[in-house]
Amino acid sequence: RQRAGFEFGDLGAIRHLVESVGVHWGIDGAHREARFGLPPEEGATWREGLSRLQLQRVAASDALEPDITTTQIDRLTAWFERLVRAEAIVAMPHSIAEWQVIVDTLISDFLTTWSSDDAEVMSGLRRSIEHLVTSSAAARVDATLPLTAIGQELEHILTETATSGDLRGGLRVCALAPGMVLPARVVMIAGLDDAQFPRGGGVPTWDILLQSRLDNDHDPLEAEDPDPREDALDAFRDAVRSASDALHISWVGRSMMDNAERAPSVAVSELLDIVGQVAENAGVVINEPLQPFAEELFAPGAINQSGSRRWADVAAALQAPAAPSQFASPLPAPIITTIRLDDLADAMRDPIKWHWTKVLALPTPGSDADDEDTEPVLNEDHDDFGLNRALLDLARSSTPITADAVRSRTAAGLGTIADVAVAARILPAAAALEAATNQPANRSIPVRLELGGYTIEGSLDRVSTEGQLLIIWWPSSARSLLGEWVRHLALCAVAPEGVDLRTRIVGVGRKPEQLHAEFRSVSNAREILGTLCRLYAALSANAIPAFPRSAFKYAVAKLKEKDAAKAAYDCWAGGYMSEAEGGDPIAARLFPERVLDEEHDPEFWRAFTQYADAVAVPMIAHLDSVLTQ
């Protein structure tokens, strides 16, 4: 990283950037053909991806990610070219003297030292190649060797060097071999299964010479022959004697296939026999559960307790009595007469997720809350969406944006590190939100609409004579636009006096204020809202194939008189550079083995088109100035 000129904080942004331009594997098409015998396709290679990145940079710098600078792109490209040149050099065979120069150059160009240990490792690598050159010169070896041969020899030399050092530091990890164990306060030995330790011993049936020597009681060489089994047992006894305060031995006591009991190593059995002669064996052997969600790991007062909240939920579910499945029969249709405007917007923003979390009351599969543990640590990939949502909620409620206010609205980890992370996020966001929301003469408009048996209640904030201002987190998406479309319809249906019936959507993120979209006036807003109310009532009883992104693509293609069915299917099924909306964990559970295709699943397709025609098509028809999707 340091040799490439990157800061530590650049790595995450660069990794995301490389993924966004479709880099997967291979230098270029010629490299794939020469190395793997595959067709010379340029797609998804490093060179093709970096070329696309350079084109984006030249065409419009605004297309780049917010955290990416042109300097970082130049450094990434230069680093890639250096790696390609190095790969081309090491791919060819060289003499040992030439390999010495190459290895020394690679160390200088690609590695750096942070501590004395790093410097010692690099010095050891240079000494190893020098030793190899000296040995080959003495043996008069002048042939060229490939990288694999040099690598194997260096690995052998470095392994011998690494296993011959003395104890350094407070923790040492080593193989259980004679002479490797040094005195320590605590000794921990793992892997003492009966089938794994000790290895060796016995005579192979094909070794007739060794068998004849062992049969001869007067063979003077018999006592000098090493016995791997006895050596391993001696090393175990040395390790036991070297522990001054505590000894911890572990082995797999149950089969992972059928939970059958498995015996420990004979060395452990002998040790337990000795312990039993001088003391009670009670409490010496502790049986750990095989599964991480076992009930014993979460029982009060247990010796070893798990801190994983996810596994605790699983253990609690296993202990609870069986409950009838929520999918055993259709839910009864609720009697809905009054709908809150915010609830209607949330349901239209992501209908499938809304049905799963609000109607079925099920947790989101794979959500960050499921993985949250009780240990006081901060996950680097903490709830980014939660932070953004908390910032928007504060802005919309005109509440001062502070770290405490954000922390009270989202779970961003525990400890001082989380406070620093939250503060770092809200400092630029607070300024951007203030700039975006500083609109004169904003007021709140109450909403109460009677629409054929349904009543919509709520309020519209940030309404001025120029229309309605809505704030979303940059960039916009099909889901965010669908949610704000509901509020725009409410504005057009209420039609307050002196207010321009249009809605401006402003995206706020790491960039300053940026206008993303604008909705024009809708003449039949009440009719469309009535349709949305009926859809809301249907979602309250049953899952509907309402895929927002697919409906967005369907509507755009339909209004442009293109193949709307293909556009919707491509978004639903995903592709080379796009995520499949139909592969969403919730959608996969609610609609197993369903296909968004009129020919293969006409009923499923018909339900989807009814949703798309009622919601997405009118929205796209009244949408202007979309900058991102």
CA 410 to chain centre: 20
Kindly compute the dihedral angle of the four CA atoms of residues 87, 88, 90, 91, in this order, to the nearest 10 degrees.
110
In 3D space, the residue among 25, 83, 85, 76 whose CA is nearest the CA of residue 53 turns out to be: 76
User: Sign of torsion, CA 343 345 348 353?
Assistant: negative
Distances (CA, A) of 503 to 140, 488, 492, 509: 83, 6, 9, 20
CB 596 within 8 A of CB 566: no
Instruction: Give the CB-side neighbour count of residue 193, counting CA atoms within 13 A.
Output: 9
- Burial of residue 14 (CB within 10 Å: 0-12, 13-18, 19+) is buried
Which stretches of the chain drop beneath a pLDDT of 50?
63, 163-169, 218, 220-221, 325-326, 368-383, 412-417, 510, 512-514, 627-629
**Residue 393 contacts by C-beta under 8 Å, 6 or more apart in sequence?**
399, 409
Give the pair of three-digit tokens for residue 381: 């990939």
Residue 613 is which amino acid? D
The pLDDT value recorded for residue 50 is 82
Give the pair of three-digit tokens for residue 560: 């442009």
Question: 484: helix, coil or strand?
Answer: helix
514-526, pLDDT tens digit by residue?
Answer: 456 788 899 999 9
**Residue 205 contacts by C-beta under 8 Å, 6 or more apart in sequence?**
none
| Cis geometry, peptide bond prior to residue 475 (ω within 30 degrees of 0) | yes
CB 234 within 8 A of CB 268: no
Strand 243-249 with 338-340, pairing: unpaired
Q: Where are the beta strands (DSSP E) in 452-605?
A: 454-464, 467-473, 503-508, 514-519
Region of residue 338 (left: phi > 0; alpha: psi -120 to 50; beta: else): beta
- Rounded distance, CA 499 to CA 525, Å? 16
Residue 438 is which amino acid? N
The pLDDT value recorded for residue 605 is 92
Give me the residues paired with residue 454 across strands. 451
Q: How far apart are the first and last CA of the chain?
A: 33
Classify residue 296 by its DSSP letter: G
- Burial of residue 564 (CB within 10 Å: 0-12, 13-18, 19+) is buried
- Rounded distance, CA 32 to CA 36, Å? 5
User: Sign of torsion, CA 201 202 208 213?
Assistant: positive
∠ Cα 550 553 557 (to 5°)? 140
**Residue 464 contacts by C-beta under 8 Å, 6 or more apart in sequence?**
439, 440, 441, 442, 443, 499
- Rounded distance, CA 49 to CA 576, Å? 14
In 3D space, the residue among 480, 482, 391, 404 whose CA is nearest the CA of residue 437 turns out to be: 391
- Rounded distance, CA 345 to CA 619, Å? 13
- Rounded distance, CA 552 to CA 550, Å? 5
- Rounded distance, CA 389 to CA 368, Å? 15
Residue 317 is which amino acid? A
Alpha helices, H only, 320-381: 341-349, 351-354
**Residue 25 contacts by C-beta under 8 Å, 6 or more apart in sequence?**
44, 45
Q: Which phi and psi angles does 145 have, rounded to 5°?
A: -125, 145
The pLDDT value recorded for residue 29 is 84
The pLDDT value recorded for residue 320 is 65
What is the gyration radius of the CA atoms in the chain, in angstroms? Answer: 34
Alpha helices, H only, 111-172: 116-138, 147-162
Alpha helices, H only, 279-380: 309-319, 341-349, 351-354
Give the pair of three-digit tokens for residue 359: 């109607």
CB 540 within 8 A of CB 336: yes
Each as own residue / partner, the long-range contacts of residues 567-572 (CB below 8 Å, 24 or more positions apart, any chain) are 568/596, 568/608, 568/612, 569/596, 569/597, 571/547, 572/547, 572/596
| Cis geometry, peptide bond prior to residue 198 (ω within 30 degrees of 0) | yes
Residue 50 is which amino acid? L
Task: Count other Cβ atoms within 10 Å, centred on residue 360.
Answer: 14
Q: Which phi and psi angles does 514 have, rounded to 5°?
A: -145, 125
The residue to which tokens 């300097």 are assigned = 71
401-418 burial: b if 16+ Cβ within 10 Å, else e: bebebbbebbebbeeeeb
